[in-house]
Amino acid sequence: MALRLGDVAPNFVAETTEGTIDFYEYLGNGWGVLFSHPADYTPVCTTELGTVAKLKQEFEKRNTKVIALSVDGLPDHESWINDINETQNTTVNFPLIADKDRKISFLYDMIHPNANENFTVRSVFVIGPDKKIKLIITYPASTGRNFDELLRVIDSLQLTANYSVATPANWRQGEDVVIAPAIKDEDIPAKFPKGHKRIKPYLRTTPQPNL
């Protein structure tokens, strides 16, 4: 059965470029991003892994660990990482899972026969501290993933988790957010002391509460 938002992310133990990793232990009490690649030595994925390496500090600011997966083995991973470091002018600084038997790929429904029976599709999972899946995105092989958008989504998810707010279309850090419908009007002043705008009974906004 395919994983859905709100499902508990399955745990696993895997061989990676940074040794044997228990997924839950690796994530600890923080957030996590698991993203898959169809195979090693693929051009678009080479740029993606390099981009994630350069964004490590941004993920760390958000208490988020990243881990990648490909269906090839460790020797190929290590050789590919050399290529990534060279061509993307960076150093890969997160684990890359070796999934030759495709156990994790099937566990996370990353094998889509309609796309390719042998390789993973390019999936992204964001996992919260409660180990539940908060976001699933699947990209076609020809389109590089937008990791700035992924960081934006993590910011939104963390605001929702901590402050009973949602974020409107195209929201960016520092912009107003939407007060959750479950919050009663009379409770807003105490919960959101920065003030709020009542645009409609169901549409109330407030300045971003953690700034």
| CB neighbour list of residue 40: distance below 8 Å, 6 or more residues apart | 70, 72, 76, 77, 79, 80
Handedness of CA 12, 6, 147, 101 (dihedral sign): positive
**C-beta separation of 88 from 51 below 8 A:** yes
- Catalytic status, residue 112: no
- From 21, 33, 34, 45, the catalytic residue: 45
130/133 Cα distance (integer angstroms): 9
Residue with tokens 């232990």: 25
DSSP 72-135: S-HHHHHHHHHHHHHHHTS---S-EEE-TT-HHHHHTT-B-TTT-SSSB-EEEEEE-TTSBEEE
36/67 Cα distance (integer angstroms): 9
User: Known catalytic residues?
Assistant: 45
